[in-house]
Amino acid sequence: MFGWSGFFEIVNRTGFTIYWIYVSHESDSEWGEDRLGREVLLDGDGFTVFLEDYPNSVFDIRVIDEDNDSYTYTNMNLEQDPVLQVVLEDLDRRR
C-alpha cells in the first residue's frame, strides 16, 4: 500500500534570505536533510518541496535564515494547506 505523496510551497516573507529548510514527518524524531541544498530562498520568492510515500500529510517544518534565526512550524497538514508563508512574526523566540 502506498502512503501520502504530494508537495507544498514555502514562500519567504521574512525580509531575510533563507538558507536552510528542514522537513520531517510528524512521526520522525529528527529533522531530515536540508531541502534547499546549495540554493537560497530570497525574500519574496517561493520554493517547492516534494514528498513521497509517507503515512499521512502531517509534517513539521523548520526554516533558518541568514542570521541563523529559525522559524518552526509543527503539525502542518500539507494536504489541506499546501502553501506556507514564512513571516518574521513566526520567528522562534529565544528564552
Instruction: Please name which of 36, 13, 26 lies closest in space to residue 78, comparing C-alpha atoms.
Output: 26
Domains of the chain, CATH where assigned: 4-90 (2.60.40.2890)
* Mean pLDDT of all residues in 41-50: 98
Residue 2 has pLDDT above 80, yes or no: no
**Cell matching residue 90:** 513566526
* Mean pLDDT of all residues in 55-77: 96
What is the H or E stretch that residue 36 is in?
none
Residue 1 has pLDDT above 80, yes or no: no
74-95 pLDDT, tens digit per residue, is 999 999 999 999 999 999 976 4
Position 3 scores a pLDDT of: 85
β-strand pairing of 58-65 with 4-13: unpaired
Entry pTM: 0.92
* C-alpha neighbours within 13 Å on the C-beta side of residue 64: 13
**What strands, in cross-sheet order, belong to the sheet with 18-25?**
18-25, 58-65, 70-77
Position 95 scores a pLDDT of: 43
